[in-house]
Amino acid sequence: MQDDKFNYLMRLGDNALILSQRLSQWCGKGPALEEDMALTNVALDLLGQARLWFSYAAEIEGTGRDEDQLAFLRDAHDFHNLLLVEQPNGSYADTLARQFYFDAWHYFLQQALARSSDARIAEIAEKSLKEVSYHVRRSGDLIVRLGDGSPESHDRMQAALNDLWMFTGEMFQADAVDHAMTASGIAPEPASLHAAWLAHVREIFDEATLALPPVDAWMQQGGRQGVHTEHLGYLLAEMQFLQRAYPGAQW
């Protein structure tokens, strides 16, 4: 049971950490100053959430590793984040599509985790929900603005949403870890979040005059089991360089 809880916490932390790193790559390169600052703030929110999940995971593991070691001293196959969050930033449309799909799922997940039988998880989720509520409103608003904007912004947004759609199915697939967490009342069954997520996505797409990709389309999977795209290795090489080159270094 403790191993399953540790693995589940690490998945939550990995999702937040990897997406935070992706968004931080936009710092100083955003399409407008307001967006540059907003993306950086979202990245910081996710980083803070990752620290909370990793800190609790380290306590559960009980081997003396801390949040920094969990973040910086693991190889790609030891990360169990969704494939979606490791995808490259691409154009701003690609970044927004990735963020919107994740934010909508993340919101409903945090809502469910706030009712967890594990008081510590419920506490972290309740705190995170305040930030995640802003994230999902912001990304949804931007999808609408670009989708219902110029012909070019509409086409770019539609193409980005179509391209990343195949990474959304993994959010609702369950394995032994998920089943164990659900059985103990710690976390929801992943599939139970799909209806609410899809309804929200459909609502935003309709408002943005965008077409919803086929719901029954083939989906990628493997990230939560440690099987990743080549993109994660490059991301980790950048993120972990300082700690790998100078072990134990602190600011």
pLDDT digits (tens, 9 = 90+) for 43-90: 999 999 999 999 999 999 999 999 999 999 999 999 999 999 999 999
In a domain, 238, yes or no: yes
In a domain, 218, yes or no: no
In a domain, 82, yes or no: yes
Tell me what pLDDT residue 248 has: 78
- The structure tokens listed for 8 are 């589940």
Distance (Å) of CA 22 to CA 36, 44, 66, 187, 210 = 13, 11, 22, 26, 25
**Predicted confidence (pLDDT) per residue in 210-225, tens digit:** 999 999 999 999 999 9
Buried b (16+ CB within 10 A) or exposed e, 127-164: ebbebbebbbebbbebbbebbeeeeeebebbbebbbbb
In a domain, 97, yes or no: yes
Tell me what pLDDT residue 35 has: 80
Q: What is the CATH number of the domain that holds 126?
A: 1.20.1260.10
Q: What is the phi/psi pair of residue 30, to 5°?
A: -65, 160
In a domain, 250, yes or no: no
Q: How many domains does the chain have?
A: 1
Q: In 10 A of CB 20, how many CB atoms? A: 21
The answer to whether 156 and 220 have CB atoms below 8 angstroms apart is: no
- Measured between alpha carbons, how far is 86 from 72 in angstroms, rounded to an integer? 16
**Predicted confidence (pLDDT) per residue in 81-134, tens digit:** 999 999 999 999 999 999 999 999 999 999 999 999 999 999 999 999 999 999
**pLDDT for 243 beyond 70:** yes
Domain that holds residue 68: 2-212+223-245
Q: What percent of the chain has pLDDT over 70?
A: 99
Q: Average model confidence (pLDDT) for the chain?
A: 95
